[in-house]
Amino acid sequence: MKIVAIGDVHGCVLQLGNILLDDTITGDELIFLGDLFDRSPFLNGDKTVLEIVQTAQESPEEFGFKKITVLRGNHEDALMRAIEEGPDSEIYELWEYNGGDAAFYALGDTYIDWLKTLPVYAVRGDYLFVHAGVRPDVPLEEQDEQDMLWIREEFHDVEDHGLPYTVVHGHTPVDEIEIANKRINLDTGSFFTGNLSYMEFECDNWKKM
């Protein structure tokens, strides 16, 4: 099984289009690692990216894939909670502080049902795809969702996270794709570098989770 994973998009419409319309980038499944929106360098970029991704997910064959999976990132998580708790909530302030746009928030009800369907992680063969990472030495079935959406140093700074997977993640921007011990970081800071990264993976013993 050939998997293509894309790092944090953050409303980068042009870069996303370049990947999706590239006939050489194909496979059995395309996985987005979360953070589709916020901090977009393009006018209405957040809305446009969501529309493109939802359209692609409904018709993956038109983009060269059999299936498209979208994982939840911390920005999806923050927006969902901000919609549920309202614009006077602490989570709304945190979402806005991290690049949330009030005009985009006003459209939130349009996307909330879809956002709630997004899984936090996906296991494909020996790879664990997740937005931020994992809590080291905690079995997958005991991981806290908030850790998998928000964790940073506690995950990055250990030599071995202790899980039997190579963890493919985003969330923490790096200058170029980072390949470390049992983890791969695909977040290359698209919204300020203009570089939206992706990587191809061959997955044996594939199973849907």
pLDDT score for 178:
98
- How far is it, in rounded angstroms, from Cα 129 to Cα 164? 13
**pLDDT tens per residue, range 113-151:** 999 999 999 999 999 999 999 999 999 999 999 999 999
- How far is it, in rounded angstroms, from Cα 147 to Cα 106? 28
- How far is it, in rounded angstroms, from Cα 43 to Cα 45? 5
Element (H, E) at 45: helix 45-58
Cross-strand partners of 166 = 127
**Residue numbers in the chain where pLDDT is lower than 70:** 205-209
pLDDT score for 208:
37
- How far is it, in rounded angstroms, from Cα 116 to Cα 76? 9
pLDDT score for 203:
86
In this prediction the pTM is: 0.96
Which tokens belong to 83? 């919609």
Beta strands in the chain (DSSP E): 2-6, 27-32, 65-70, 121-124, 127-130, 166-169, 178-180, 183-185, 198-202
pLDDT score for 83:
96
- How far is it, in rounded angstroms, from Cα 168 to Cα 176? 14
Element (H, E) at 115: helix 108-116
Element (H, E) at 80: helix 74-85
pLDDT score for 205:
55
